[in-house]
Amino acid sequence: MSELIQLLRQNAPVARLAEYLDGLTHDERLRALSTTTRADQRSLYAAASHAPPITLDFFVPDGTPRRVAVHHQGRNSLPLPSPFRFFEKRFARPEDGGARLFGYNEGLTRSWIGPGFFVAVPTAGNLAWQERGAVVIDYFQVPDGLVPDGWPQVVPNSKGLQAFVYNGTRDFMRRVSKDVSIGAAFKGEKALDHYFTLCRAPSV
């Protein structure tokens, strides 16, 4: 059992979880996060309610040029074969510099499910949403401006098979550590009890 799992199952505070994760290399963090079960991710999401609120700058750090993607490597808790639980959420600031981020999902399923485009925005001002996380990844919206070169074509989430996965969905995000966040999926206003971890990839 990894130390992260032990800490989670001991109900360690989020500050202790962050200290542990921040002390690892990027590859070590990914390995530690890859061992989490849905119950572990549920515990991590609950613990992260006591972390400092997450911000858009967490996903795309200050100084990153507009329309330059930042990759966050993820693992979800869906009942899928292990390779299909790994994915990336890719974020970028829009050309107009507005208080939102454009993004999509990259992984083994993109070629047949679709890219799952989204817009990430702060939840400030919506009390119910704020309790779930300070940033929401909103699949009700898709980018309404230019996206980074090399990204797939923007399509609505109501189109194709991705309608069964992304359409009508929102992911509420909480900070865990310097590079790690945790999300909880909602269909409309209904919690799905599915979670995923994200780990920001090093700059290249």
The CA-to-CA distance between both ends of the chain, in Å, stands at 32
Q: Would residue 3 count as lying in a domain?
A: no
Q: Is residue 82 part of a domain?
A: yes
pLDDT in tens, 154-196: 999 999 888 888 999 999 999 999 999 999 999 999 999 999 9
Are 164 and 55 in contact by the 8 Å Cβ rule? The answer is: no
Q: Is the CB of residue 138 less than 8 Å from the CB of residue 170?
A: yes
What is the C-alpha R_g of the chain? 16
Q: What CATH number is associated with residue 71? A: 2.40.160
Residues near 96 by beta carbon (within 8 Å), at least 6 away in sequence:
145
pLDDT digits (tens, 9 = 90+) for 18-68: 999 999 999 999 999 999 999 999 999 999 999 999 999 999 999 999 999
The pTM (predicted TM-score) of the whole model is: 0.95
Task: Identify the domain containing residue 137 by its residue range.
Answer: 52-200
